[in-house]
Structure 1
Amino acid sequence: MDAEEPNTEEPAVEEPKAEELTIPQAFLLLATNDQDGEAEVPAYVLRTALAGAILAELDQLGAIGLQGKHVRATDQAPQTGFQHQWELIRHKSRPHTPKRWVSMLEGRAEVQRVYEGLTSRGIVEHVGEKHLGLFKSTRYPEKDHAPEASLLTKVQAALKGGPSDARTTALIALLEAAGLLVKLFPAADRTRARELAKDYWPARAVTDELRMIRLAEDEAAMLADPVRARHPG
């Protein structure tokens, strides 16, 4: 990684072009350090935001939509690698909120799957390491900078008020929800990005889920050490 008003209308279906990345791939690429291949955010943030990116991808493809407070699948099956998630949503006996789907879809395996998709395209490199001969970790340093450079150019132009396609707008909302936008563009005016993170339902679901995770962590810390939690100094 290198340095409006809510829209209630149904989004237009926007298929990614052959050379373009999916929203999950684009998010993960920008969330990963170019040099060491490590994530720029904690693992739980990465997993949660990637789940939101999957919902955003399905939404852009017209495969799902928000109806009232619940996510509903359409009859338009996605032609990308996220058909499994679409089928889960389609066949669930009870509809769920976006936040609930974020919590259900997030996971380490999905992060690795999207990383491996970037690896197969020659954008990042799979680097496996063993520690003490027992524990294996995996990093994904950048191999081809061109896709990331293109993404950064599009995002920066949109932040400066230029035209933005639906996929770039969704990506900006997710980056803001994950706390990555300020790291990528520390000098940018993020007013519009904050509005997007609040108004675009997949990004809002990420924000809500991260808030719940952090509250749970704070509560667990207080239960473990109530005296220190009340007097952190």
Structure 2
Amino acid sequence: MSMTFSGQVALVTGGAAGIGRATALAFAAQGLKVVVADVDAVGGEATLGLIHESGGDGLFVVCDVTHDSDVRQLHERIVAAYGRLDYAYNNAGIEIEKGRLAEGSEAEFDAIMAVNVKGVWLCMKYQLPLMMAQGGGAIVNTASVAGLCAAPKMSIYAASKHAVIGLTKSAAIEYAKKGIRVNAVCPAVIDTDMFRRAYEADPRKAEFAAAMHPVGRIGKVEEIASAVLYLCSDGAKFTTGHSLTVDGGATAI
């Protein structure tokens, strides 16, 4: 089944690299205008450059999703440029802590929750009224397999991703009759800069990360992008409130 899209404008937060960049490029390849948002201006402009090189249309907006004013201005820029927002991928997030729960700091807790939870909440706070006014839309939030099960030595991160799933399901029910679908994608370990920072210093950890997936490898950013596009596409018109695992079988064990 080919993916088809009813609208014309997509937003990707955390679009400067990794899964966000891959998803922005995938949206552009479908002919959508793509708004890339990130705190990393260099990476964000690079993503936009790749979109333009492929013949696509879009814009980059510097945005810290933990600040209401930034998120509000992001969506105002989208309306000013394109007049609507059809698809939103709320992907901005920060990485896991590296110790047991009692070893964590208040600063770690606040930072992870601010980006991973407050950031998703703020983005949906502005996306939902905009989509209601135009008659519908689709939102996908980045959760994680860590939002579906226990995650030893990354309890704060796991709690943040459980919260994303809670926000996703609640918004899906609240806005189901408004023509807005809200879903989440739950990746396992994916080959990103975040993965390399966590594992490449110790090849044994990288080998363990691959082995934890029954398929025998970690995931690719393009595989998550494909899942996001499916959830936004007309092929998923009857899907809302769902957390789609893209995990190489990790949660099936």
TM-score (norm 2): 0.27
Q: Report 1 or 2 for greater relative contact order, CA contacts < 8 Å, sequence distance ≥ 6.
A: 1
TM-score (norm 1): 0.28
Structure index of larger Rg: 1
